Structure 1
Amino acid sequence: MPVDFLVLSAALLAGLTGGAHCALMCGGIAASLNGHGKESALPHALALNLGRIGSYTLAGLLAGTLGAAFVGLVRIPDLALWLRSVMGLLLMLIALRMLFPRRFAFANALASPLWRLVSKAKATLPASGLWRSLGLGAIWGWLPCGLSTSVLLAAWMEASPLHSSLMMAAFGLGTLPLMTAMSYSGARLQGLLDNRRLRAGMALLVLLAGALTAAAPWLMRVPEMHGALAALGCRSLA
C-alpha cells in the first residue's frame, strides 16, 4: 500500500495547528519538566519532545497493528478503504475541534490529574542528563489528550502498522516547534501559531484533507482526479 501523503499532511497540519492548543493545555508542564540552565535547556527541550514523539509513534504502531488485525479477522470486502473514509470524517472533526476549541474544553480538564503525576515522575528517574529528559518525554507521550487521542483513533483506521506510526510521527513533528520552544523558554509564546487567522487557515486545510480522504475511494473513479489522488497514495473501491 503506498504512503498516503494526503493523510500525513493532514496529521502534520493538525500538529502545527494544535501546537497552540498544546501550549495552553500543557505548556506549564513542558516548562516544569525541563528545569535546566540556559546553556543546556535547548538540548533537554529537544530530548523531552523527541521522547514524546517517540511514544506517539509507538502508539501509532500498536494502533495500526490492532487495526490490521481487525481488518484481517472481519474479512469484509474493502473494509480497509471504508475505514479510511471514516478516518477522513474524523480528520474533519479534528479540524472542527481546532476551529472551535472552547466547545471541547472539557477534554482538557479530564487529563489534569494525570499531568500532576508526570510532574512527580521527575523524582522517580534516577538518571540525569538527556536520557532523563528523553524518558520523561516518553512518559508524557502516553498521557491522554483530546487532540492526540483523536489523531490516534484516526491512525487506527489506517489499519497499517507502518502508515499508522507514520501518521502519529507526522502529528508529533507538527507539535515539535512550539512545544520545544515552550519547554526551552518556559513562557507561553504568542508567536506565529497563535495567530487566529493562520490557525483557522491550517484547520481549514485539515478539513479539506479530511474531506478528500473520506471521498477519495469514489473520487478515484473520476478520470480527471485519479492521477492526482493516486500520487497522494489514495486508492479506489474495487
Structure 2
Amino acid sequence: MLYSALLLGLLGSFHCIGMCGPIAFLLPVDRKKPTKRVLQLISYHVGRILTYAVLGLLVGSVGKSLNLFGFQQQLSIVIGVFMILMILIPTKLFNRYHFSKPIYKFVASIKNAMGTELKKKNPGTFFTMGYLNGLLPCGLVYMAVFGALASGDIWEGGLYMIIFGMGTVPLMTTAIYIGNFLTTKSRQHILKVIPGLVVIIGFLFILRGLGLEIPYLSPSEMVAVEEVSSQYSCH
C-alpha cells in the first residue's frame, strides 16, 4: 500500500500549494546564490518530512499494537470506510458542531511560532519552518496518517509518511522557485480529482482488509496467522 502514499503526496501537493504555498513563498531563500538556495530548500523539506515521519512512527506503533491482537484487517476496513466518509460528509457539518475550534487555536500557536522564526533568518530557520509546517492541520496529511496507521508496523508507518512527504517535494519546490504557476481554473480541475483519489484509496484499504487472496491488493493475512498458530499447536 506504499504506492498510495506516493499518490497522495503527488496529487495532494496541488492542495498543499493553496494551503502551505503562502508560507513557502515567505521563506527567505537566497535568490542570488543557487547552491545556497538549494541547501535552504533541502533543509525546509527535511524538517517537513521529519515531522511526517514522527507522526508515522507514532501511529504505526498504535497500528502494531492492534495488529498483535489480530485486528489489522479490521483496522484496514475501518480506516478505508473512514476515508470515504471524510470525503462524503460535508465540511459544514463539522463546523456546525464546533469540532474545529481547538484546531484553530493550535494553528494560531503554530503560525505565531513560524512568525517568530521568520524574523530570526538564521541557518536553522528553514529546518524549523519545515518542521512547524508539517504540524499544520491538513486533510491530505490526515489521510496519509490513516494509511500509516493501517500499515500495522512502526517502521512501515514511518516509511509511509516519508514517501507521502517526498511526493509533495517536486511541486512545492517548483512553487517556491517560480511562484504560483497554476491558474485558478487548472487548480480547481486538479482539486476535483483529489477527493476521488481518496475514495479509491479508501476502497483499496477495505479490499486489503477483506483478505480476498488477491496478490498485493487483498492478501489473506488471516489465513497466514491461522497457519502459523496451527503449526505451533502441533508442536
TM-score class, shorter? 0.7 to 0.9
2:43 corresponding residue in structure 1: 47
Q: Distance in 1 between matches of 2:136 and 2:113?
A: 10
Name the SS of the counterpart of 1:237 in structure 2. helix
Q: Distance in 1 between matches of 2:190 and 2:137?
A: 26
Structure 2 unpaired stretches of 5+: 224-235
State the TM-score, normalizing by the size of structure 2: 0.73
State the TM-score, normalizing by the size of structure 1: 0.72
How large is the Cα RMSD of the aligned pairs?
3.4
1:237 corresponding residue in structure 2: 222
Using the TM superposition, name which of 9-18 and 203-212 deviates more: 203-212
User: What are the equivalent positions in structure 2 for 1:1-238 lying under 5 Å apart?
Assistant: 7-39=1-33, 40-72=36-68, 75=69, 78-93=70-85, 96=87, 110=104, 112-113=107-108, 114-123=110-119, 127-128=122-123, 131-185=124-178, 187-190=179-182, 194-201=186-193, 203-218=195-210, 220-221=212-213, 226-229=214-217, 234-238=219-223
CA deviations 1:115-169 (Å, max 9, x no partner) are 24312223457x42xx542233123222333331342233223231111111111
Determine which structure has more spread, i.e. the larger CA radius of gyration.
2
Distance 1:24 1:237, change over 3 A: same
Q: Distance in 1 between matches of 2:77 and 2:137?
A: 25
1:4 corresponding residue in structure 2: none
Distance 1:112 1:43, change over 3 A: same
Identity %: 25
CA apart distance, 1:83: 0.7
Letter in 2 for 1:138: Y
Letter in 2 for 1:119: G
Q: Distance in 1 between matches of 2:19 and 2:93?
A: 12
CA deviations 1:53-75 (Å, max 9, x no partner) are 12101210122113323544xx3
Distance 1:215 1:145, change over 3 A: same
Letter in 1 for 2:75: L
Q: Distance in 1 between matches of 2:56 and 2:126?
A: 22
Q: Distance in 2 between matches of 1:235 and 1:47?
A: 42
Q: Distance in 1 between matches of 2:177 and 2:94?
A: 26
Q: Distance in 2 between matches of 1:138 and 1:104?
A: 31
Structure 1 unpaired stretches of 5+: 1-6
CA apart distance, 1:237: 3.2
